[in-house]
């Protein structure tokens, strides 16, 4: 167990809806990264938050947005859901300065299905 | 487009053998490299990271890095059925971009 928690575990939505996924980072960690992992693929970096500021973004459209709160927990919001958004969404926390990923610990993930 | 390539497998080895997993990357400036293990239906867990050319050993695992040839490998000695999983290679971006790029992973099957 890494101490990183995510909710919900599973979620089913329909195309066009909006979804919010949540992540609580490991105690003492101030950096949270979000990844999308499609079936049979490696995780794709969505964005990272460090001390409540977005600190890097992957090749995802603006309908993917996020927040980090003062307690370093985080949310991932996806608007206008598309079928291709169906994936495992992973949150990873690290206690670094935000410039390295060498202490990154993943949560259990949220499985999102878009119908 | 930064790329990380892994053979998707499956790689099948008998129990007790050495499993060799390979990864090549395109970003010549990358400095940090990671191996994760992911069991089916679970999230990735970090096995090892390596920064310097050469070998790094941790128990039954050895990571090997060759920056000139742009490849990193993971050796698992005395493979056990419990090692059966997908192994993901991740490469940290260069030039101030720490954003990691993951390969699609290699499926390893260790049979008794």
Rounded CA Rg of chain A = 13
Which residues from B are below 8 Å from A100, CB to CB?
32, 92, 98
B2 beta partners:
none
Burial B26-62 (b: 16+ CB within 10 A, else e): ebeebebbbbbbbeeeebbebbbbbeeeeeeeeeebb
Instruction: Chain A: give the shortest CA distance to residue B89, in Å.
Output: 9
Hunting for tokens 């040839």 — which residue is that?
B69
Confidence class of residue A46 from pLDDT cuts 50, 70 and 90? very high
pLDDT of residue A100: 53
| Mean pLDDT on B74-101 | 90
Residue A1 — very low, low, confident or very high, per pLDDT cuts 50/70/90?
Answer: low
Q: Using the beta-carbon criterion (under 8 Å), do B100 and A45 form an inter-chain contact?
A: yes
């Amino acid at each position: 167990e890494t101490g990183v928690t995510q909710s919900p575990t599973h979620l089913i939505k329909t195309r066009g809806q909006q979804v919010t996924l949540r992540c609580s980072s490991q105690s003492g960690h101030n950096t949270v990264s979000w990844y999308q992992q499609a079936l049979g693929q490696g995780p794709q970096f969505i964005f990272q938050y460090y001390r409540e500021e977005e600190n890097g973004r992957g090749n995802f459209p603006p309908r993917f947005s996020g927040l980090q709160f003062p307690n370093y927990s985080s949310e991932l919001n996806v608007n206008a859901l598309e079928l291709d958004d169906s994936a495992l969404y992973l949150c990873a926390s690290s206690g670094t300065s935000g410039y390295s990923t060498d202490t990154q610990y993943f949560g259990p993930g949220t499985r999102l299905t878009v119908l | 487009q930064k790329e990380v390539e892994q053979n998707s497998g499956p790689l099948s080895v008998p129990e007790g053998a050495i499993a060799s997993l390979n990864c090549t990357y395109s970003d010549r400036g990358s400095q940090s490299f990671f191996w994760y293990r992911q069991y089916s239906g679970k999230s990735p867990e970090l096995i090892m990271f390596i920064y310097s050319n050469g070998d790094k050993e941790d128990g039954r695992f050895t990571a090997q890095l060759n920056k000139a040839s742009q490849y990193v490998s993971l050796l698992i000695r005395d493979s056990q059925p419990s090692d059966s999983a997908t192994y993901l290679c991740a490469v940290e971006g260069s030039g101030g971009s720490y954003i990691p790029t993951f390969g699609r992973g290699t499926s390893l099957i260790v049979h008794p």
